[in-house]
Chain A
Amino acid sequence: MKMLKTAAVALLLQGSMGGLAQAEALNGNPLSNVLVRQAIAHAIDRQLIVDAIFGGYAVTASGLLPNGPFKSPDLDDYSYDPERARELLAEAGWDSSRTLEVVYYYDDQITADLMAVLQAQLADVGINITYRLLVGDVAASLNSIPDDPAGMSVVTWDLAYGARAAMVMQEYFNDYGTGKASADGFPGSAELDALIAASNTETDPEAAKLILMQIDDYIDANMITLPLYYQQMYTVESNRLDRNGEPNGNEQFNYDWNVHNWTVSPDADGNQVLYTNGAPVDYFEQPWVNLGLWAGNKFLWAHMLGATPFLDGVTGGDLAETYEMSEDSLTLTMTLRDGIMWHDGTPITADDVTQSLVFALKTPNLHGVVASAFNNIAGAAEYLAGTADGVSGISSEGNTITIRFAAPNANTLIAFTQWGPLPMTYFEGVDPALIQQAPFWQNPIGSGPFMVEEANFGDFVSFVPFADYWEGAPQIDQVVAWASADGDVNMVRNAIANRIDFAITKVVSDIEAIEALDFMRLVPMDVPYTRMMWINQYDK
C-alpha cells in the first residue's frame, strides 16, 4: 500500500518539473532571469571556498537539502565553470556596468573573507558586487516580500548570504510559499506552492521524501536560491567523558541521547563532574524556542516522545509511555507514564500537558515546526482568533491525552519529540505572550534527568541528578555549565584548561584548536545546516 502511494505521488509530481528555467527576465530586475542566476552559480568555486576559507570543515552543496537520504539524483551541481558563466551572462544580455549589492548578517572574519572571495570570483565573469553587514533589525532587512507578491522589491539588496538550520526537511522550503515573509527573494509560483503544501501534509515518510526531492529539484533547476556549502557540526568531548555506547546526534535538538547513562572520570574527590557550556547569562530560555540548544534545555527537560539521533524517526515514548496516531493521521493519543515527577516532587499530570499545549499556542516564539503542528490542532484557530475559550481538539481522561488535528501534518510526531509540558501551576496568571518574562525562568522546575542546583547567572549553572527521573537517576554527580552565548568564544580556552567535557561547535578555528589537543576528541556530524545565497528576484 505504501509503495503504491509513493509511486502515485511520484507520478503526480512528474508534471511539476515542466515549467522550469525560463530564459527571459520576468521583470526589470536582471536577477529574475534564470540565466543570470545560473551564471552566478557557475562563477563561484565552492570547493575553493570550502578548502581555503573553511579549512575543509564544510562540504560543497548541491541542492538545499543536506547530503543523505533526501538527496535527489537529478540535481545539477553547477560546477565551477567561469567560461560557462560568461556565456550565460552574454545570452542573458547582462549589463556589466551594473553592481549587485550583497548583504550578510554574520559579524565574523570568515564571512568577511567569504565576501571578498565571492567579489573576486564574480568580478572574474563580469559581475560587480558590493557587500555590507546588516545590523539592527536584521529580520526586517532581510524580508524581501512586498505586500503584493508581484510588486516591487521592498529591499535594496540583490543577494543575501544566510543559512538554514532545519529540524525537519520541510523547514528548508516552507518560506518559499507565495507571499510568505522570508528572505528567499522568490515571488512564488503555484507549482512550488502545491509541492510545499504536499510536503507538509504527506505523512508517509517515503512519499514525503520524494516530494521534498522534487522541491529541491525545482529550486535547483531554476536557481531560485544558490546553495553554497553544508556546514558540519562537531561534538567536542574530553577523554574523561564516556557516553557508554549512547549515540551522538544532532545536538541542537532533542533526541534519545540518554545522558543518564553517561559517565565522567571521577575528580580528586571521587565525584563525576561534567563540564559544559551554554548556561544562561541572565535567565533560562524557555525550552519551546530553541528546543535542544542550551544546557538548560538539554539537561532539564523531558519530552512527550523520543527521537532518533538525527530526528528522522520516533523511538517511542518519553514522558508518554505509549502513543498512537490514527490511520488518517488526525488523532494522536498519548498515555503518560505512572509516577513521573517534576523536579519539585509533584506529579506530572495530563492536565499539565493539556494546559501547556493550550498555553503554547499563544506563546510568541514557539519553534516553527512545533507551531505548525500545534496550530493544526482542531479548534486552535478559533482559540487564537478569540472565538473560543478553549481548544476543542485537546482533551484528557485519566493519564491519557487525546489530540485531534484539523488536517494531516508530516511532522506532528517529531514535534512531540521536541516538546514537553511545563509545570503549569507556576504559570497561573502569566500572559502567554510574556512566557519568557515569568519569574519561573530564574530557577525552573523541570522534568528531565538533571535539575538546577545553583544558578550563578553570567558565571555558571550547576545541575545535579534528579533521583526520580523516570529512566533512573543519572550516574554523573554534577553538571557544571559555563555561561555562554551561541558560538561560545571561550570554549577552546576552557577546553585547554580542562573545563569542557562536552560542547558543540561549527567554528572552524575552534575545530582546528580542539583537534590539536590530545585529551579532546571531535565527532563530526552531518546536520541539516546549509549556507546559501538568497537571490532577490522581485522587480526593481
Chain B
Amino acid sequence: MLTFIVRRLLIMVPMAIGISFVIYLALDLSPGDAVTRMLNPERTPDPARLEEMRRALGLDAPMPVRYWIWLTGVVRGDFGNTLTGGVPISRLLLDRLPATLELSVVALFLSSIVGVILGTISALRRGTATDSILTVGGMIGVSIPEFFFGLVAIVVFALHLQWLPVGGRLLPTYDSYWDHLPNIIMPALVLSIMMTAGVMRYARTAMLDALSREFIKTARAKGLPEWRVNLLHGFRSALTPVIVLIGFRLPILIGGSVIVEEVFQWPGLGSLFVQSVRNKDLPVVMTIALLTVILVLVVSLIIDILTALIDPRVRLGT
C-alpha cells in the first residue's frame, strides 16, 4: 500500500501542473484581460495609460512567461496579489476560507449523516409509504434549485417570522465568533437539502443492491438477526459507493457553493471565484483552481485507500 500511495503522490505533481496549465491557457484565450475588465464600457479611457497599467501588472508578457511566473511563485508559497486590487491572495484566502469551510463542513456533515440514514431506511422499507415519501422528498430535493429553497427560507424565516438574519455572515454588533451562528443556519441547511437528497438516493440504491447479493441470503440462511444482516453485512457493503460520492463532494470545502453564497450574501470562496473569473483576475482563479485540483487528487487517493479498507476484495495497485 505504501508503494501505491507514494506512486500516486508522485503522479499528482505533473497532473496538477498539467491541469493548471490547461486552465490558465483556457482563461488566457478568452477575450480581454484584467485591465479591460476594470473599465466601464461606457467610457473611453486613454489607451496609453491602459498599456502602462498592463506593463506594470506584467500582463504584457507572453502567456507561457506569465504562467511560469505564477507557477514558480506558488511553488515558493507566494500566491501573488490580485490584479484588480493588489490584495495578497493568501490573505484573501485566509479571509474567505473560514466562511466557506463553516458553511460546507456543516452541510457536508449534515447531508452525509442524514442522507445515509434516510437512504438506508428507504431501502429497508422498500415499497412502503415511508419509502415513497422519502423517494419523492429526494426527487424534490435534487430537482428544485438551491436558490429557490434559499429565497423561500429567507422570506419565511427572515422576513416574515424574523427568526433568523436575512443574510450576511458578520454584523458590527457581533463580539464573539459564536454570535454569528444564527447567520449560518439558513445557508447551511439550504446547502444541505440538495446534498442530502443526492446522498439519500445514492445510499438507497446502494443498499438495495447490497441486499440483493448472495452473501446477504447466506447470512439470513445462517439465522443471523435481521438488524445484523442489514447493518453489518448490507450496510457495510453499501457504504463503499456512498463514500465515493461523499468524497468527491469534498472539493466544495474549497470551491464553496456559489449560488448559496450569492443568495445569502455569504462572503466565501465560491463568490470570490466567480467574481475573479468575471474580472479575469487570473492569479486568484488559478490559486483556487489549483487548490481544488489538489484536493480532488488527494480525495481520490483517500477514497481508493478507504475503499480497500472497507471492501477486502479491492486490492490497491492492481
Contacts and interface: CB of A to CB of B under 8 A. Distances in A.
Given A434-B53, A434-B56, A434-B57, A371 B46 contact: yes
B167 to A, nearest CB: 6
Given A441-B86, A482-B265, A368 B159 contact: no
Interface stretch (A82-90, A175-183, A188-196): A175-183
B166 A140 contact: no
Interface string A266-310: 000000000000000111000000100000000000000000000
B222 interface: no
Contacts of B83: 437
B169 interface: yes
A107 B34 CA distance: 19
Contacts of B271: 458
B84 interface: yes
Contact of B41 (A105, A434, A499): A105
Interface in B35-51: 35-36, 38-50
A438 B88 CA distance: 11
Given A436-B84, A437-B86, A456-B170, A139 B41 contact: yes
A10 B50 CA distance: 39
Contacts of B168: 459-460, 482
Given A182-B44, A282-B87, A493-B154, A454 B172 contact: yes
Given A140-B31, A490-B265, A460 B172 contact: yes
A101 interface: no
A205 to B, nearest CB: 24
Contacts of B159: 493, 496-497
Counting chain A CB atoms within 10 Å of each CB, the highest count among B30, B44, B55, B154 belongs to: B44
B311 interface: no
Of A136, A364, A367, chain B has the most CB atoms within 10 Å of the CB of A364
A316 interface: no
Contacts of A436: 38, 84-86
A282 B92 contact: yes
Nearest to B30: A136
Contact of B36 (A137, A371, A433): A137
A180 B168 CA distance: 44
A180 B36 contact: no
Given A364-B53, A433-B55, A434-B57, A163 B172 contact: no
A527 interface: no
A458 B53 contact: no
Interface residues of A, number: 58
A250 interface: no
A368 B39 CA distance: 12
Nearest to A175: B44
Contacts of B48: 384
A164 B95 contact: no
B186 to A, nearest CB: 12
Nearest to B88: A439
Given A136-B30, A458-B96, A282 B82 contact: yes
B32 A137 contact: yes
B166 A460 contact: no
Interface pairs A-B: 4 shortest CB-CB: A437-B86, A458-B267, A137-B32, A136-B31
Given A140-B31, A282-B272, 17 more contacts: A165-B42, A281-B275, A283-B84, A362-B52, A364-B49, A371-B46, A436-B84, A437-B83, A442-B87, A458-B96, A458-B169, A458-B272, A460-B171, A460-B172, A480-B172, A483-B267, A497-B165
22 contacts: A137-B32, A141-B31, A162-B41, A163-B42, A164-B42, A175-B44, A282-B82, A282-B84, A283-B85, A364-B49, A368-B43, A431-B56, A434-B56, A436-B38, A436-B84, A437-B85, A458-B95, A459-B168, A459-B267, A478-B172, A483-B265, A493-B159
